[in-house]
Structure 1
């Protein structure tokens, strides 16, 4: 089982890696196996660290590990720093060189009951988080971020899809990025009345969908656990199973599609249904089924807008790449590099047009 990863926020800009390590360990007999330090996404003049401990987390984080506490706060020379494992909100995954130009923002958003960091980790020997480990090498000038939201099934939340979309947009206006279809639709609806949302919509260039159930998800196995879920969470699950709201949102998004480049990945392997085991817990030990079929995962748009990519994996493992040699990873990195090159050429063309206008004006 991969080691837990923690996020440390609110770190002062003056703090070095050694300073952060010293304050996090607090003299305990543990080590930091890995630490990545990045700027805060929110422009608040702080740093964020993504940390793995060895052999386990310090004792003061036991309640965070168990889930009885969401986070812990410790003091760092008068600054309060926060430690959590939920990764709610935006988190930048790797640092871009100080003198490098950010060529694009990439935001990765998980679906229902997903974890902002863990959902993207492979299941190989090194549990690679490819958005961090691979993109830092292959897309070093892109600001790659993850977005976390509380969509866990077993809690007392009353969120619905529209609430998640609005929450995402409000966070997004603080970091200026976009990738989620429902939120792009909402940004379009807010155009004219909300300048920040309008700006987000206009700056969106491409989106990648991994097994996204545009026309509904088979949720009967999830609904078999209704005795453990609050009524509001049951309603949330049912809302992604299909129906008029999902159909209307799909139609709204398709109306925006001509202005985007879309990658649609879809699973080619069946996964196992959730089933109660001998201990009374639910795990994927049931019969094989296909939760998101090809007809639901694809938008069926023209090839110049949508690129359809089959993946030799089930729904759970669709975004869990162990190595750069994974065929699906090769597909997405080649497409993203192609998009970035198109953006670069477009920027050059715009710069040339501005230069010519300036020359004519001076003449």
Structure 2
């Protein structure tokens, strides 16, 4: 019988500024009336909205676009390539291998919904109940207000033909995992919850991927909800297929899908341990499916004896986390091709997805809040550490300067070199005061400052001389000669108080006092000389024997 049908194509690498009308105008004029752009959305790697776009296009061929295929069957050819000047490196295909985005979720996306097709299935066609309608593209985005990014995932799983490859379940699972990690390798979606939908072999691929994830990677792929259609957890009816694939590269895969196969038994046992934090919803078929048979022309067709491909006992996981176990009025092929309305399971699936999105939204918001909190704590820790390091450095520098000052003073006291007694001009003191500020001897043991006439035992002479001579303090504590900042970070000032006036502590004045301008420590007489290094306060001065000793 001569027939032909519309076919959905995928167009990738479309410039961001293209509209549906502009895209359609790129094709040959004879093909435009056969083309309907069904979706035009950001590509899977277009996170910021300024990258390329991906479209799904329905091509409904006219009679003059058909070509004769094997057996005299008319098939639709692909639309002619866009005109050269408008081509823009478009990538057009009908296989849908890898990820294909179906909607534009905007900025309020709170989860990723990914559907994985089954054995020998088509990433798009396996979910479409007609050429015009596919529920993941045409119903779900609008029904959930585009609060999730919806994608389909395709892979090579043909059982015969020139391009048939040797693959097993673990190979498919590993490829899906790697593709999923690449898909979500961006800060905007790295922690976004996942809702995974699997049909037939697609459900096993999802189980394999989740089971094989390392704990560190599993945190980057937070799977929250699983929806399985006709999942052969305990095996698939493959009797007819075993005969067809004997000696072919796909023979091993079919052996793994047999009922009670060691591969499936082991996978279910491992999956049981990682499924506790997920919510699982199972849908199983209730009608038999025509098995595949090979015709005289070598073509495979579903004209064999009808059988239930996945029994109820095989479709159910019987886990505590399996919240839905629902029969679908359909066979293995039709079970995932949902129709809108009350006659099928779409309303139930929609409710489950909406509930999952509410949970995912809360979890995603909590994750973002937790990340913001940790980021703030980390920033505060860094700032505190920087402050602590700055403080330690300041203390270290002060102690080092004080140690150096003390060492030099001690050496000067021991050696009493003549140059140590020399006066260096102080710009803050009058010339007369600079020239007369000397120490001279008085008797055998005591010396007198020529400026202030204070008397000192010889053991304290260098102490007083060093302070005045070097100009390290703002004010000489004995004579008020102004100098520079003190070592160790202390700026010292002095105050001449008459005996009848009160000092800062409200006590009767007792003469010259000095205090640090920074920490307000007060020091009697020459004890301030030792303060930067030894940290003596006024209460320690007399105990250390550092106060002025007048000649008796």
State if a TM-score over 0.5 links the two structures. yes
Q: Which residue of 2 aligns with 1:261?
A: 279
Of 83-92 and 310-319, the range deviating more from structure 2 = 310-319
Q: Which residue of 2 aligns with 1:148?
A: 154
Give, in whole Å, the separation in 1 of the partners of 2:28 and 2:270: 52
Helix, strand or coil at the partner of 2:275 = helix
Query: 1 or 2 for the larger relative contact order (CA 8 Å, sep ≥6)?
Result: 1
* Displacement of 1:278: 7.1
Instruction: Assess if the C-alpha contact under 8 Å between 1:264 and 1:308 holds in 2.
Output: yes
Of 14-23 and 135-144, the range deviating more from structure 2 = 14-23
Cα RMSD after superposing both structures: 3.5
Does residue 80 (structure 1) correspond to residue 69 (structure 2)? The answer is: no
Give, in whole Å, the separation in 2 of the partners of 1:248 and 1:339: 29
> In structure 2, which of residues 26, 34, 38 is the aligned counterpart of residue 35 of structure 1?
38
Q: CA offsets, 1:276-314, max 9 Å, x none?
A: 557664433333321100110000112x54321111111
- Counterparts of residues 307-318 of structure 1 (less than 5 Å): 307-318=324-335
* Displacement of 1:343: 2.6
Q: CA offsets, 1:135-156, max 9 Å, x none?
A: 0221222111000101011133
Helix, strand or coil at the partner of 1:318 = coil
Structure 1: segments with no counterpart, 5+ residues = none
Does residue 130 (structure 1) correspond to residue 139 (structure 2)? The answer is: no
Give, in whole Å, the separation in 2 of the partners of 1:49 and 1:38: 6
Does residue 172 (structure 1) correspond to residue 202 (structure 2)? The answer is: no
Does residue 198 (structure 1) correspond to residue 218 (structure 2)? The answer is: yes
Give, in whole Å, the separation in 2 of the partners of 1:185 and 1:309: 23
* Displacement of 1:221: 1.7
Helix, strand or coil at the partner of 1:206 = strand
Helix, strand or coil at the partner of 1:79 = coil
Q: Which residue of 1 aligns with 2:360?
A: 343
Structure 2: segments with no counterpart, 5+ residues = 185-193, 197-202, 381-552
> In structure 2, which of residues 315, 319, 329 is the aligned counterpart of residue 297 of structure 1?
315
* Displacement of 1:43: 3.3
> In structure 1, which of residues 232, 238, 243 is the aligned counterpart of residue 255 of structure 2?
238
* Displacement of 1:338: 1.4
Normalization by structure 1: what TM-score? 0.83
- Counterparts of residues 93-112 of structure 1 (less than 5 Å): 93-96=102-105, 98=106, 100-112=107-119
Give, in whole Å, the separation in 2 of the partners of 1:73 and 1:175: 29
Which protein shows a greater Rg? 2
* Displacement of 1:272: 2.4
* Displacement of 1:16: 2.4
Give, in whole Å, the separation in 1 of the partners of 2:152 and 2:365: 29
* Displacement of 1:237: 1.7
* Displacement of 1:62: 11
Does residue 212 (structure 1) correspond to residue 231 (structure 2)? The answer is: yes
Instruction: Assess if the C-alpha contact under 8 Å between 1:72 and 1:82 holds in 2.
Output: no
Give, in whole Å, the separation in 2 of the partners of 1:73 and 1:169: 35
Q: CA offsets, 1:241-271, max 9 Å, x none?
A: 1411111111111111111000111011222
Aligned length: 346
Instruction: Assess if the C-alpha contact under 8 Å between 1:257 and 1:305 holds in 2.
Output: no
Give, in whole Å, the separation in 2 of the partners of 1:131 and 1:57: 30
Instruction: Assess if the C-alpha contact under 8 Å between 1:94 and 1:136 holds in 2.
Output: yes
Structure 1 residues 30, 74: closer, same or farther in 2, change over 3 A?
closer
Give, in whole Å, the separation in 2 of the partners of 1:67 and 1:30: 15
Give, in whole Å, the separation in 1 of the partners of 2:53 and 2:64: 21
